[in-house]
Amino acid sequence: MSMLQVKVWRGNEQGEFQAFEVPRRESQTVLDVVTYIQRKCDPTLAYRFACRVGVCGSCAMSVNGQSRWTCRTHVSKVAADGRLEIAPLRNLPVVRDLVTDMREFFDKWARARGRFQGSKRRTDDFARVAPDSRERRQVDAGIECIGCGVCYSACDVVTWNPDYLGPAALNRAWTLVNDVRDVDRNGRLAAVAGDAGCHACHTHMNCTERCPKQISPTVGIAGLKRMVLAAAVKGQL
């Protein structure tokens, strides 16, 4: 049986990689590897997962230097030479081993006003949104985000500017400013404007490259930049 040479981060902000040998199996995912280590080699290994099928977004880690969802990442795709280096996500405080503190990530969704603000009551009639309208198609392009934090971890601007809202929060804001039912458009544009908002993005497109759901936060951020600039010129911010 062939073996995988796996290095796993142990500790919190300070720590080191620990080496393990894991049996190579067919259709093996990176999450399978981490689970094998915890169950067979070292039960003290801390990591986070829930659904195992790419829905919950809780198992994201850094695999051979790139942020990925580990439950849907096959070993054959990332470890052709039989070596894996698994670390916690970048740009987030490490709680222990492979578990990061996601509070800042989700707090930024709140700062970007990522909550739908409607005006209708439950007694009102349904809002009718044409599926082929421009706004609806732009919402469709970004709405499948699972909040895994891969884009946030891959973003260099977050590293350089810790106040930066990050791709996921801005993508969420983009879907809401395109939601014709939402009534807090200008408030949201003000929340995502400026040095810590969409205008900090350098269009490196790491988020777009790494998003496991094939969303392009970069497109949404570019749209927000234009929309916010137009609002600023009109004095609406």
Partner 1 sequence: MQSAECRVQIAECECRVRFIFLLITHHSSLNTACERTFVNIRSQVLLWGAQRVSAMVLALCVVIHLVTIIYAVRNGLSAAEILGRTRGNVGWLAFYAVFVAVVAIHAPIGLRTIVAETLGWRSRGADIFVLAVALSLAIWGWRAVWAVFY
Q: List Cα–Cα distances, 183 to 115, 131, 135, 151, 226, in angstroms.
A: 11, 20, 14, 28, 19
- Please report, as a single letter, which amino acid is at residue 44: T
Q: Which of residues 189-208 bind partner 1 (CB under 8 A)?
A: 190, 193-196, 199-200
Is 69 or 174 the residue whose CB approaches partner 1 more closely? 174
Single out the segment in contact with partner 1 by CB under 8 A; choices: 4-12, 113-121, 156-164, 212-220. 156-164
Beta bridge partners of 22: 4
Per CB under 8 A, does 163 bind partner 1? yes
Query: Closest distance between partner 1 and the C-beta of residue 59, in Å?
Result: 30
Nearer to partner 1, 144 or 156 (CB): 156
Number of residues counted as binding partner 1 (CB under 8 A)? 18
Inter-helix orientation angle 103-111/167-177, to 10°:
30
Cβ distance 127 to 180 under 8 Å? yes
Stretch that binds partner 1, among 62-70, 102-110, 127-135, 223-231 (CB under 8 A): 223-231
Q: Are 87 and 141 in contact (CB under 8 A)?
A: no
Nearest distance, CB of residue 153 and partner 1, angstroms? 18
- Residue located via tokens 């939601």: 179
Residue 105: name the closest of 60, 39, 55, 66 by CA.
60
| Smallest separation, CB 191 to partner 1 (Å) | 9
Between 20 and 164, name the residue whose CB sits nearer to partner 1.
164
Task: Decide if residue 187 touches partner 1 (CB under 8 A).
Answer: no
Least separation in angstroms between CB 107 and partner 1 = 13
| Only segment of 92-100, 123-131, 155-163, 207-215 that touches partner 1 (CB under 8 A) | 155-163
Give the strand pairing for 66-69 and 60-63. antiparallel
44 Cβ contact partners less than 8 Å away, ≥ 6 residues apart: none
Q: To which residue do tokens 């400026």 refer?
A: 194
Task: Between 54 and 194, name the residue whose CB sits nearer to partner 1.
Answer: 194
Which of these ranges, 84-92, 125-133, 177-185, 229-237, lies near partner 1 under the rule CB under 8 A?
229-237
H/E stretch holding 140 reads helix 134-142
Within 10 angstroms of residue 43's Cβ, the number of other Cβ atoms is: 8
| Cα separation, 107 vs 145, whole angstroms | 16
Binding of residue 95 to partner 1 (CB under 8 A): no
**Binding of partner 1 by 158 (CB under 8 A):** no
User: Could you list the residues that contact partner 1 (CB under 8 A)?
Assistant: 157, 160-161, 163, 190, 193-196, 199-200, 225, 228-229, 232-233, 235, 237
